[in-house]
């Protein structure tokens, strides 16, 4: 299977796609009792009840505790924890314990260690020190998963399988000999014969022609630029290889516990290398981890982006926030605690955008180890702390939101997201290093967020039928099918926006000849014969006084009209933003990197033209999202990220306070309301 092809062998169906017995909003976190003495574990169960915790992820990093020496198993403590959690009414997402191989395993089989492109072998002593392609590691990991499934398959606490942990987080790319073998197998499956590979990789260039698959290697460090399609295929292979490790463990667990759903936790907004749209189809329920960045003043918008992207990966269905933090993390340069109310707002943002469970890394803050300064629900200070009081308050809020469980977010605007395009557009030797992904996407998203417009994330090949406005930023690589799908949406009446350096190459990273932006030339009614990227610090002015940087190009209008032109710079007088009437819709082209004011103008035009309305009219910094139940119940989330009181039109009951709302809900600075609308 490749990222571009449909899965020929669909996943076996689970009996249920939601954690067994988790019937309300989930609340909990990673629980690592092996780090604590029994007295603390007993206190944990009491505190979980106090906070209203109803689900924990257990045994994620427990392999070395469960099997301290090869074949010597010690399950006593886990048996005890499963029983105690069950007695305390806490459901368990039980991990396969494979996220970090035990020291005896890497000593006995050093060939399972992953390798960097430059040949450096990554040692044991941190975590995730395994080569995902290693048949030896896979065998050991599958054995541990099977052992756990056989032991706990019938345990009444078992609600969900948590396979490994953030697969690919530290080792998205492995260049070991095991990887080289697996890459060749993957390439043979993709291309069939080596001549097809030569065509796809354009190996007539630089004497790279292969006579046999045996000669092909991963793109290890070379004297200069490695073949771009080799790099792109290695990215595809790596995502597929990591996914196949997940499916191996899933398919090991499934026959033993067909009644238990299976997942693994994604890192949707933070990770470039896993094609989560493909991965989403392989998990029973999508679970995501998200951490805010302390020095990002707009981190609440970045969070919303992550949550909406996760819902897209879940194809609109409910999903689990598997990890976020109560306060500081330990892995940023300066790890600041969250501001008062921020943890609650963050949690509600995820719920507003489709999460039906809010979980944290981790339950109790570690006393030792690399993450001892990472926040948790139970901090070092213990119960007498703001963090604990906030945790208890969150538990109460989530209880009040039980009616929201299972409802969905609806949107008429779609943003097209494509991992292969991301991998390809950021390869080396391009016109400008400043063209990155998903930078334009975030700029457009930010504007929609500020206006309270609901957004779905889709792939170029998704069904676009329900969308009136479709934004396809930096879609450098696009398949014929994807390009046709987007064009068809404009034909039937949608407004489509394409931004610069889109439609440039096919799935092999070969230029679409005859003028840029090849795949979208006809749709957009423009043709470009040359790029004029701007130099660092250079900017240009548009005819409405707004500015742009990074990119210009010589656009010739074939059927489109220029809506904005450049007044200076290398393309002075030429089109900067164009619009082409297409069928019952329109296709817009942004040929430069517009500033925030220009983006705001453009998004305003697009919303007006496509009749897309905000959820409710809001002011900047006041987040509004609506979830709608299958029975028509409507829940309006209003999250105030500003320093002032916010008023938003609404009528119904605020579930968080139980108060009546007539015509308008007033939300304090930094506060939130969830109105069940009348
Ligand atoms: C995640 C990981 C957790 C923990 C957390 C810290 O990436 O899954 O185990 O390390 O980060 O923020």
Q: How far is CA 109 from CA 106, 140, 176, 504, in A?
A: 5, 11, 14, 45
pLDDT of residue 16: 77
Residue scoring higher pLDDT (626 or 12): 626
Closest protein CA for atom 7 of ligand 1: 166
Q: Is the pLDDT of residue 136 over 80?
A: yes
| Helix, strand, coil share of the chain (percent; to 5) | 30, 20, 45
pLDDT of residue 163: 98
pLDDT band at 13 (very low <50, low <70, confident <90, very high): low
- State pTM to two decimals: 0.97
Q: Is the pLDDT of residue 5 over 60?
A: no
pLDDT band at 424 (very low <50, low <70, confident <90, very high): very high
Residues serving a catalytic function are 166, 323
Burial of 11 (0-12, 13-18, 19+ CB in 10 A): middle
The whole-number average pLDDT for the span 130-152 is: 98
Closest protein CA for atom 2 of ligand 1: 166
Encode pLDDT of 278-320 as tens digits.
999 999 999 999 999 999 999 999 999 999 999 999 999 999 9
Concatenating the DSSP letter of every residue in 406-458 gives T-EE--SEEEE--HHHHHHHTSSS-S-TT--TTHHHHHHHHHHHHTT--EEEE
The whole-number average pLDDT for the span 322-338 is: 97
- On whether the CB atoms of residues 157 and 85 are closer than 8 A, the answer is yes
Cα 132 to averaged position of ligand 1 atoms, centre (Å): 19
pLDDT of residue 12: 57
The whole-number average pLDDT for the span 324-334 is: 97
pLDDT of residue 2: 42
Structure tokens at 206: 């630089």
End-to-end Cα, the chain, rounded Å? 49
CA gyration radius for the chain? 26
Cα 526 to averaged position of ligand 1 atoms, centre (Å): 46
Cα 361 to averaged position of ligand 1 atoms, centre (Å): 6
pLDDT of residue 393: 98
Closest protein CA for atom 4 of ligand 1: 361
Q: What is the mean pLDDT of the chain?
A: 97
Determine what percent of the chain is predicted with pLDDT higher than 70.
98
The whole-number average pLDDT for the span 200-229 is: 98
- On whether the CB atoms of residues 388 and 43 are closer than 8 A, the answer is no
- Closest ligand 1 atom number to CA of residue 291: 12
Cα 365 to averaged position of ligand 1 atoms, centre (Å): 12
pLDDT of residue 9: 54
The whole-number average pLDDT for the span 477-481 is: 98
Domains and CATH numbers, the chain: 26-175+218-406 (3.20.20.80), 413-610 (3.40.50.880), 622-677 (2.60.40.1180)
Q: Is the pLDDT of residue 495 over 90?
A: yes
Q: Is the pLDDT of residue 10 over 60?
A: no
pLDDT band at 3 (very low <50, low <70, confident <90, very high): very low
Task: Mark out the alpha helices in 93-176 (DSSP H runs).
Answer: 103-108, 135-152
Encode pLDDT of 179-194 as tens digits.
999 999 999 999 999 9
Residues at CB less than 6 angstroms from ligand 1: 165-166, 169, 289, 291, 323, 329, 361, 371, 374
Residue 77: CA atoms inside 13 Å, Cβ hemisphere, count? Answer: 19
pLDDT of residue 190: 98
- On whether the CB atoms of residues 504 and 526 are closer than 8 A, the answer is no
């Amino acid at each position: 299977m490749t990222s571009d092809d449909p899965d020929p062998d669909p996943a076996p169906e689970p009996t249920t796609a939601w954690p067994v017995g988790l019937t309300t909003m989930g609340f909990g976190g990673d629980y690592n009792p092996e780090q604590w003495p029994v007295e603390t574990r007993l206190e944990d169960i009491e505190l979980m009840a106090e906070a209203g915790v109803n689900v924990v992820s257990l045994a994620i990093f427990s392999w070395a505790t469960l099997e301290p020496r090869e074949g010597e198993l010690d399950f006593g403590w886990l048996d005890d924890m499963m029983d105690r959690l069950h007695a305390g009414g806490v459901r368990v997402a039980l991990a396969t314990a494979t996220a970090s191989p035990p020291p005896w395993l890497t000593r006995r089989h050093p060939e399972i260690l992953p390798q960097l492109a430059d040949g450096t072998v990554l040692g044991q002593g941190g975590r995730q020190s395994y080569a995902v392609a290693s048949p030896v590691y896979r065998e050991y990991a599958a054995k541990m998963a099977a052992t756990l499934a056989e032991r706990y398959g019938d345990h009444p606490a078992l609600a969900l399988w948590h396979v490994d942990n953030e697969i690919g987080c530290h080792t998205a790319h492995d260049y070991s000999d095991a990887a080289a073998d697996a890459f060749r197998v993957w390439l043979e499956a993709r291309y069939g014969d080596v001549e097809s590979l030569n065509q796809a990789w354009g190996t007539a260039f630089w004497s790279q022609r292969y006579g046999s698959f045996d000669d092909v290697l991963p793109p290890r460090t070379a004297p200069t630029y490695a073949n771009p399609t080799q790099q792109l295929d290695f990215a595809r292979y790596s995502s597929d290889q990591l996914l196949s490790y997940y499916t191996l463990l899933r398919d090991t667990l499934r026959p033993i516990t067909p009644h238990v759903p299976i997942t693994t936790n994604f890192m949707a907004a933070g990770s470039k290398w896993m094609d989560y749209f493909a991965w989403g189809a392989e998990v029973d329920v999508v679970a995501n981890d998200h951490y805010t960045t302390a020095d990002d003043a707009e981190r609440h918008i970045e969070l919303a982006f992550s949550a909406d992207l996760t819902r897209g990966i879940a194809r609109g269905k409910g999903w689990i926030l598997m990890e976020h933090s109560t306060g500081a993390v330990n892995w940023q340069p300066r790890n600041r605690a969250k501001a008062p109310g921020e943890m609650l707002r963050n949690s509600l943002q995820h719920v507003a955008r489709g999460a039906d469970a809010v979980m944290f890394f981790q339950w109790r803050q570690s006393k030792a180890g690399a993450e001892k300064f990472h926040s948790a629900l139970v901090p070092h200070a213990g119960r007498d702390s703001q963090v604990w009081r906030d945790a208890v308050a969150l538990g109460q809020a989530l209880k009040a939101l039980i009616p929201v469980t299972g409802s969905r977010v609806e949107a008429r605007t779609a943003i097209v997201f494509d991992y292969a395009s991301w991998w390809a557009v950021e390869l080396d030797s391009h016109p400008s290093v400043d063209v990155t992904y998903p930078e334009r996407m975030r700029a457009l998203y930010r504007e929609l967020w500020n206006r309270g417009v609901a957004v779905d994330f889709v792939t170029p090949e998704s069904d676009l039928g329900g969308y009136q406005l479709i934004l396809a930023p930096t879609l450098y690589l696009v398949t014929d099918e994807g390009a046709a799908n987007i064009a068809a949406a404009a034909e039937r009446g949608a407004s489509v926006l394409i931004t610069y350096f889109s439609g440039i190459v096919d799935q092999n990273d070969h230029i679409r000849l005859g003028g840029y932006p090849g795949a979208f030339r006809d749709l957009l009614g423009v043709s470009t014969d040359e790029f004029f990227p701007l130099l660092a610090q250079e900017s240009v002015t548009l005819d409405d006084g707004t500015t742009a940087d990074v990119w210009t190009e010589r656009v010739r209008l074939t059927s489109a009209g220029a809506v904005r032109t450049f007044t200076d710079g290398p393309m002075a007088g030429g089109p900067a933003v164009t619009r082409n009437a297409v069928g019952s819709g329109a296709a817009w082209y942004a040929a430069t990197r517009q500033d925030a004011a220009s983006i705001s103008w453009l998004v305003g035009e697009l919303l007006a033209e496509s009749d897309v309305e905000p959820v409710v009219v809001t002011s900047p910094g006041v987040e509004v999202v609506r979830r709608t139940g299958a029975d028509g119940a409507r829940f309006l989330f209003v999250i105030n990220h500003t320093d002032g009181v916010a008023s938003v039109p609404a009528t119904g009951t605020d579930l968080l306070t139980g108060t009546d709302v007539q015509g308008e809900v007033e939300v304090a600075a930094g506060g939130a309301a969830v109105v069940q609308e009348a």
